[in-house]
Amino acid sequence: MKLLLTILSAATFYAAIPAVQDDELAKSIERGKMVYSENCITCHMGTGEGVTATFPPLAKSDYLMKTPENAIRAVKFGLAGKITVNGVEYDNMMPNPGLGNDEIADVMNYIMNSWGNSSEKKMITEKMVEEVKEKK
């Protein structure tokens, strides 16, 4: 009987982990939406479409989804120089918005799960942002 209870308890615990992660991701996305509206919307627009040849799109962005570490670095430290997004070259400057690692994680989760982007429920964490260093 104890073995059965142990197995049922373990099964319940492990079944709850994805739900907790989904809930945390949903909360992060909601916070990230606020960060986006306060810091990013002016250049990247309300639906993440950007401005052609000036500000790259975040919606359905190959740069963002294929190299999230580079996107984190851009948000964390700013960005200057050429990048290619969805086959279009951009050579503008994005200033460092002065966000904390928690805000960067939240805004990345929002962007990576909006406008046709899907992180497949992979969550960017504050620790992941902390580990991203500036390129010298």
Q: What is the CATH number of the domain that holds 94?
A: 1.10.760.10
In a domain, 105, yes or no: yes
Q: pLDDT, tens digit, for every residue of 93-132? A: 999 999 999 999 999 999 999 999 998 889 999 999 999 9
Give SS3 for 97. coil
Q: What is the pTM of this model?
A: 0.82
In a domain, 50, yes or no: yes
Q: How many CA atoms lie within 13 A of 77 on its CB side?
A: 16
Q: How is residue 83 written in tokens?
A: 């990048």
Check pLDDT > 90 for residue 12.
Answer: no
In a domain, 38, yes or no: yes
